Amino acid sequence: MLDGFLILHSRRSSVVLELLPGEAPLWRYWGPRLPDAASPGTPLRDTRPLPSFMLDFDQPLTVAPTFGVGWFGQSALLAHRDGQDFAQAFTGCEVEWTVPGAAVVLHLRDDVARLRLDLSVALEADSDVLLLRSTLHNDGDTPLDVQWLAAGTLLLPGRCDAVRSYAGQHVHEFLLQVDPLTRSLWRKESRRGRTSHDCFPGAVVTTPGATEDTGLVFGAHLAWSGNHQQTIEWLHDGQYQWQMGEWLAPGEGRLAPGQSLQSPELVATCSGQGLNGLAANFHAELRRRLDWPGGAMRPRPVHLNTWEGFYFDVHPGPVKELATAAAAVGIERFVLDDGWFHGRHHDRAALGDWWPDATKFPEGLGDLIAHVNGLGMAFGLWVEPEMVNPDSDLFRAHPEWALQIAGRPLLTARNQLVLDIARPEASDYLFEKIAALLSAHPIDYLKWDLNRDFAPAGLANGTAGYRAQVHAAYALMARLRAAFPAVEIESCSGGGGRIDFGVLRHTHRVWTSDCIDALSRVDIQRGFLQFFPPEIMGAHVGTAPAHTTGRTQSMAFRAAVALSGHFGVELDVRHLSEADTAELRGWIAVYKQLRDRLHHGRVWTGDAGDGVRWQFHADEADEAVSDGVLIALRTRPSDHRYAPTLRLPMLDVAARYRVREIRPDGAEPEAREMDGAWLVHAGLPMPRAHAETAFLVRVERV
């Protein structure tokens, strides 16, 4: 603290709060790093003469603005006691440093409303990420009904001009939306019970002139896999406030005397290096917290998933044949998708009956797994524990285990209901069934699906169960990870329905989208990479034509798009032509050669114009890039007779680089040396090519 100001610094950003007796700290600054000794010096109110027709007490934005006592903007808390104590004001603040100079808990107190708010604030030194979380305590002797509790409130400068968020739907996720910031309220909410395909819980705010690599930008993401809300509101001093938190269904925020409500974590960051600088911060933070088996990420294995090869028609003979063909092209992990368990012949039955189907696997899964392991591949298995079909042994035995509301119809989606896993007996059942499989066989990977929204979502006592379901899912994953620490888990929710920092506390990969059309994937994966690093991005070579769009792309284009993430295959390798088989084998070899570079360090994305989108993976050097891989994708026919060059702004203008095309056919085109300044300012010459063509280049400092 410095002269009444609480100041946090990281490498490239700073947070400044003003501490005043008898109220919550005031927001003064969040942005590019300030000098260590810099502070506002002057109290904020001394710089703000009261305008006309105002209260006689100036109320600037605090870290936790409250309703009813002079703040007329969006509040961080909305609560009441049977209609009473509807207005709150924090009149006491105790500062507890948990990491001196870097992390603090602000203990805020309202003695009139009889509640406390603990707001944790941490600025991570290495990632420049600001972490906020709120915990509300009911110190009264009557219940407190909470309608809204923000995870955190952020201050944005008035020069911010636009917000970039993501909408979408199943098989069309991460659909970029760009809205101007004005005096109108900007808000997004999701009430589907999961992260959702259509309302990603995060956004990016830009300032005028910001690009992929330059300009000041701000980003925030709620680490939560359930209902959520975010709001950006113009303030009367010309700045903006940004709030995020869990959207609470009626009754979910009811606190008995002595109870507490903890928000999800808000993960925010700012960068003066544009959208790519912001992405680097988010990537660094997620990498810091991922809980890899053994404590560190192993090289991401080439992955084959059987879904689009077989759908539900899985039988030992054909599956073994596919495994043999997969191993021959270089696959390292073989994942048996849906259709393997008791009575599962279509999507209308059997969810909940988690043991091998006797008509398909009369001897169980052991023989298949031994075959896969004998080919040198690890084995993975698809499950959807949080769901149940009405036509299942489990539902017939325990119909009360489905989320439901008495007197309301049971609404199915994809012929399934949501299992109330907040019930200890239901969670125990799932743990026992999955643990039996993991104990009996060397299964090192679970593809964990969640294929519908929550409605109705009533618990056994008739109250809303949205947040209880999310916490129960986290707890079940954590329990299985504790019992089987070598097992990795993929978060799949119809593709992009559950991708967030919350579920990634327990998982290691996400299935980015059920759409494997490579052209669609270019934009989907670009949106994904704004927040999440490539090594957890499931990206597969699918069939041609693509099952979700009917479009056809070449093997080279499909493979190049998949190369930029955790590379996988989702097709029946047995039916490929000899030429396609050889080409796929070559791309798999390229991935194995490059994955250490692709999955460590920084990622830059850009648009070279004329239909060329690019991605550059390089080392994490602060000063200059020494070794990188460029993936350039022509998504449409060129408008020019001669293709425009592609500039690489991350390179060192004072260095010289060796540039060499990477070819999956094993050919090694001649390398050439080029000045970094030329590549930065003039650009790399691009070949003239047809639409849906890829170009790979290795760039190394001489």
Please list the active-site residues.
449, 514
CB 63 within 8 A of CB 39: no
- Rg of the chain, C-alpha, whole Å: 27
Cα angle for residues 114, 120, 125 (degrees, 5° grid): 170
| Token pair 């003003």: residue | 18
Which residue's entry shows tokens 């506002």? 40
Q: Cα–Cα distance between 156 and 269 in angstroms, integer?
A: 11
Check if the beta carbon of residue 462 is closer than 8 Å to that of residue 406.
yes
- The residues pairing with 674 across neighbouring beta strands, listed in sequence order, are 657
Per-residue tokens: 650: 């991350």
Residue whose entry in the numeric block shows the structure tokens 């294995």: 301
- Helical segments of 266-380, H only: 274-289, 307-310, 316-329, 366-374
Pairing of strands 217-223, 129-138: unpaired
CB 241 within 8 A of CB 517: no
DSSP 186-241: EEEEE-SSSS-SS--SEEEEE-TT--SSSB-EEEEEEE-SS-EEEEEEE-TTS-EE
Q: Residue 607 corresponds to which tokens in the numbers above? A: 């648009």
DSSP state of 478: H
Residue 435 φ/ψ, nearest 5 degrees: -65, -35
Q: Is the dihedral of CA 202, 208, 213, 217 positive or negative?
A: negative
Instruction: Kindly state the tokens that stand for 34.
Output: 């300030």
Listed in sequence order, the residues at least 6 apart from 407 whose beta carbon sits closer than 8 Å to its beta carbon are none
SS3 assignment, position 430? helix
Beta-carbon neighbour count of residue 478 at 10 Å? 13
Three-state DSSP state, 556: helix
CB-CB contact of 13 with 38 (8 Å)? no
Tell how strand 509-511 and strand 537-541 pair up. parallel
Q: What is the DSSP letter of 399?
A: G
* Secondary structure, 3-state, 453-467: CCCCCECCCCCECHH
Are 221 and 282 a contacting pair, CB within 8 Å?
A: yes
Cβ of 547: how many Cβ atoms within 10 Å?
Answer: 18
b/e per residue, 581-602, with b = 16+ CB within 10 A?
bebbbbbbbbbbebbeebbbbb
One-character DSSP codes across 38-50: ----S-GGGG---
Inter-axis angle of helices 578-598 and 555-563, nearest 10 = 20
The single residue listed with the structure tokens 């969006």 is 74
Distance CA 589, CA 650 (A): 27
For residue 592, give Cα distances in angstroms to 332, 589, 605: 10, 5, 22
227 CB contacts (<8 Å, ≥6 apart)? 189, 190, 191, 192, 193, 246, 247, 248, 249, 466, 467
